[in-house]
Structure 1
Amino acid sequence: MSLTSIDDNAALVVLDLQVGTAGLPSVPNAMSEIIDRSVALAEAFRKKGLPVIWVNVAGGSTARKEVTDPGGSLPENWTELLPELKVQDSDKTFTKYAMGSFHDDRFSELLSELKVGQLVLTGVTTSFAVESTARGAYDRSINVVVVGDAVGDLDATVNNHALESVLPHVAEISTTDEVLAAVR
């Protein structure tokens, strides 16, 4: 699905652009490109009077999982949003504790308070935070747009699979330029 419109009740949701993810490889879009495009979208959404929500992750699911210990510890400030995002006082911030933003009722409640009916998603990673949040929104009958050139993943094949095979079933896939044109 390509972009049809940006609704009057849309919100920009930027996922996991924080100190702890800034050094990760991101393909096919570099982290710097994702940041720049997210900032440009945030400025346009603010100018139009639409909400901007910056989401960070601070931990993971407590469900049992067998994973290899990556070694080392996370920096103390790993959950902090990146300063280059230029978060404004009028913006909302949301801390999640799982892969997707809808892991408990708090995110749904925030969207309800803001009267949001459409999410425009950017950030990292496409196959985890972006896909999980898109699915959660779709399950709640919220329209979803994924900005394909403002998301990235650790692996290009995984990123492309999500954007080409999975996400089109629950979201419109667009570009930064298309969203900017629709918001203006």
Structure 2
Amino acid sequence: MTISTLDPNTALIVVDLQAGTVRNPTVHPVADVVANASTLLAAFRARGLPVVIANVDGTAAGRSEYGGKASVWPAEMSALIPEIVAAADEIVVTRRAWSVFASTDLGARLSDAGVTQVVIVGLATSFGVESTARDAYDAGFNVVVAVDAITDMRAEAHDNSVLRIFPILGETATTAEVVGLLDAR
């Protein structure tokens, strides 16, 4: 479903635009994803809307094709890219789970701030972005995914999330559509 409206107190959630993820091969150019995320970041900041900057610094335990033990990444992998450094008044979430909400107090912090809707951008579509969208939906937030500010390592995974999962969880939009709705306020 294409975006219909933005709630008065909508937060932007930036997922894993960090040194260790932006260097992975992706379906869409990372530079475009970063540029669109930066445009949204500037738009939300200019309007005094809440911003969440999230990074991941390791993995949770659990057997999978990627390993079986929890891991901690070197600090240089978890460092945010220069375009996405958090301002002093913004929420920063560092975690070892796919979702920005998992094992954090983010849901409560956003609810306490009166946030009712989230716009999600970042990497990777079928990992951090989709997991965050699912948890935001389950927590009762209206969800928007900016589809030109996300990408994945595999086209089929990205397309599945964008075409099949996100429309069930909320709405999708381009960066220009979100900024246009912000400008129309």
1:67/1:89 CA distance change after superposition, 3 Å: closer
The CA deviation at 1:52 is 1.2
Aligned 1:1-184 pairs, distance under 5 A: 1-27=1-27, 29-67=28-66, 75-184=74-183
* TM-aligned CA deviation for residue 59 of structure 1: 1.3
* C-alpha distance in 2 between matches for 1:4 and 1:36: 23
| Alpha-carbon distance between aligned partners in 2 of 1:89 and 1:68, rounded to the nearest angstrom | 36
Instruction: Give the Cα–Cα distance (whole angstroms) in 2 for the partners of residues 130 and 37 of structure 1.
Output: 15
TM-score using structure 1 length: 0.91
CA contact (8 A) 2:93 2:104 kept: no
1:94 alignment partner AA: V
RMSD: 1.8
SS in 2 for 1:77: helix
Shift, 1:128, TM fit: 0.7
How far does residue 81 in structure 1 lie from its aligned partner after superposition? Answer: 0.6
> Which amino acid letter does the alignment assign opposite residue 127 of structure 2?
F
Name the CA shift for 1:132/1:77 in 2 (closer, same or farther; >3 Å): same
Query: Structure 2: where are the runs of 5+ without partners?
Result: none
Report the residue type matching 1:140 in the other structure.
Answer: A
C-alpha contact (below 8 Å) 1:39/1:86 kept by paired residues: no
How much has 1:100 moved relative to structure 2? 0.7
Q: Which runs of 5+ in 1 are unaligned?
A: none
Q: The residue matched to 2:132 in structure 1 has which SS?
A: helix
Q: How many residues align?
A: 180
Measure, in 2, the Cα distance between the counterparts of 1:108 and 1:31. Answer: 28
Give per-residue Cα distances to partners, 1:128-182, cap 9 Å, x unaligned: 1011010101111111000001000001121011100111100201100000101
Aligned equivalents of 2:67 and 2:57: distance in 1? 19
Q: Assess if the C-alpha contact under 8 Å between 1:120 and 1:144 holds in 2.
A: yes
Larger relative contact order (Cα-Cα within 8 Å, sequence gap ≥ 6): 1
Look up the equivalent residue of 1:30 and give its one-letter code.
P
User: Secondary structure of 2:115's partner?
Assistant: coil
Letter in 2 for 1:127: S
Q: Deviations over 1:3-42 (max 9, x none)?
A: 0111111100010000111211121x31111111111101
Residue 85 of structure 1, CA deviation: 2.1
Identity of aligned residues (%): 36
